[in-house]
Amino acid sequence: MECAVKALNGKFYKALTFGFSGDVSAGDSISGEIGIGLDKNLKKFCYSGTCRGIKTDVGAGFGMTLSLWNDYNSVPGPSWVYSAGVSIPGTEIGVNYADNWERNKGTYLGTSYSMGIAGVSISPLDLEAYECNTPSPLILSRRRLRKCMKKKGHKK
pLDDT value at residue 109? 95
What domain count does the chain have? 1
In a domain, 32, yes or no: yes
Name the residue range of residue 19's domain.
2-151
In the chain the first and final C-alpha atoms are separated, in Å, by 24
In a domain, 143, yes or no: yes
Output the domain CATH number for residue 6: 2.40.128.480
In a domain, 156, yes or no: no
In a domain, 54, yes or no: yes
Question: In whole angstroms, what is the distance from residue 110 CA to residue 71 CA?
Answer: 9
pLDDT value at residue 21? 97
| DSSP β-ladder status, 15-39 and 138-140 | unpaired
In a domain, 10, yes or no: yes
Instruction: Using CB atoms within 10 Å of the CB of residue 64, give its burial: 0 to 12 exposed, 13 to 18 middle, 19+ buried.
Output: middle
3: CB partners within 8 A, 6+ apart: none
In a domain, 97, yes or no: yes
- Please give the share of the chain, as a percent, with pLDDT higher than 90: 72
pLDDT value at residue 13? 87
DSSP 103-131: TTT--EEEEEEEEEEEEEES-SEEEEEEE
Q: For residue range 32-84, list pLDDT tens digits in order.
A: 999 999 998 888 999 999 999 999 999 999 999 999 999 999 999 999 999 99
Average pLDDT (22-28) is 95
